[in-house]
Chains A and B, each alone.
Chain A
């Protein structure tokens, strides 16, 4: 069960995760890190660059299995992931990239996704023909095409200019709301987290653990700028307190 009593889709309990530093000495990346994410909610893991956010996401995605602890997901649950780099197949067209990842998806469903992300005119293009912003949108469409039980987003707005990032955030927020996809996003940007998430997990500096959890009580679409500012200020106080500990 999650904090608010709803059934948790994702339970993360990492007692520790070590990695070898450049000098070959073991370094602790994560320690006593735990949280849960209820079905249909969007969570954001926020922390400074290099604190272990991507490591955590890789553990949840099953790409890193060398850690002590457990990640609980529904058996057979589908996972969609948007990596920092789009990781599209350069030799397949946009629509074929979606078909490869989601062979069970109907052509209508894929067409609807492309339309929602304004990618229809690019369906037959190869990834090498697309800008980074367009390629990111294709990666998001691919992750949603499999109708995931859990959608993982790893800094999906990094390297995009402000206008593009804002546009993409709005599209992702709309898609998450519309499809009720349980989503976990990792980001270093508090504002991004506030715009997208229902609950924010603030990570401490290394070894990372969840130092504070903030509920974004107001539905995203109704949140005023003042409320967002207040939440951001509260998060910053928590981060300062974590640094002081």
Chain B
């Protein structure tokens, strides 16, 4: 309820600000919604949203799977951690734009370069979070698994992944927000479709209405992903934490 009220307040604030502004600089909500409807009717909105979403998904999955594997290995093996930590620090501090431009220069204006550049920008963040998760794994449960001779697959499923789940959720949440922002930059610089490309077109034409007509649906889409996928996943993996203790003895 408060969230809805908050959104209504934001719309009112936007409308109020638009009334006192040049409509070319800041159009009101209604013209923007009309532009959204127009782009949706032509099909361009969905085509571009789908292209961007596909890049977000590919880059995110690549970065998360590589980041999880490398972060886990670095968290569990001190020698590996020492070897690759300086690389990690460099990657963490490398501006996203440098990675994107280098990827396009080295691999051309291709889809692989675009997705690779986004994944590389997200990778160090995923590694750092997963490394912390691997460092925090419960050594006593490892010993229990050793004594009971759990198979590697069972160990991964029942012992490692449940402990890493909160870290995976945290990396997913921060990763998604980072990835979709960088995907727009990648599209703006070197792709011929996608929300970033359309935003670039709107910039060239000084068309704020069109810019917002693409930005708002995409933000809403990402919010839907967060609300419908990420948050339920977080709730599912942490459901065992919310139960009260019971039973004081044998009775």
List residues of A whose CB falls within 8 A of some B CB. 61-63, 78-81, 83, 85, 87, 89-92, 100-103, 118, 122, 125-126, 128-131, 133-134, 137, 142, 146, 163-164, 167-168
Contact = CB atoms under 8 A, between A and B. Distances in A.
Given A128-B245, A130-B247, A90 B240 contact: yes
Contacts of B237: 91
Given A63-B147, A87-B144, A100-B150, A92 B246 contact: no
Contacts of B148: 79-81, 101-102, 142, 146
A78 B148 CA distance: 8
Contacts of B147: 61-63, 79-81
A162 to B, nearest CB: 12
A146 B243 CA distance: 28
B248 interface: yes
Nearest to A64: B143
Contacts of B140: 83, 85, 87
A91 B240 CA distance: 5
B224 interface: no
A90 to B, nearest CB: 6
B246 A100 contact: no
B241 interface: yes
Given A81-B147, A100-B154, A133-B250, A89 B243 contact: no
Contact of B246 (A61, A90, A131): A131
B150 A129 contact: no
Contacts of A168: 250
Interface in B60-102: none
B242 to A, nearest CB: 9
Contacts of B159: 89
Nearest to A139: B144
B244 interface: yes
A101 B143 contact: no
B245 A83 contact: no
Nearest to A164: B249
Given A63-B147, A85-B140, A100-B150, A92 B158 contact: yes
Nearest to A168: B250
B34 interface: no
9 contacts: A62-B147, A63-B147, A79-B147, A81-B144, A89-B159, A102-B148, A129-B247, A146-B148, A163-B249
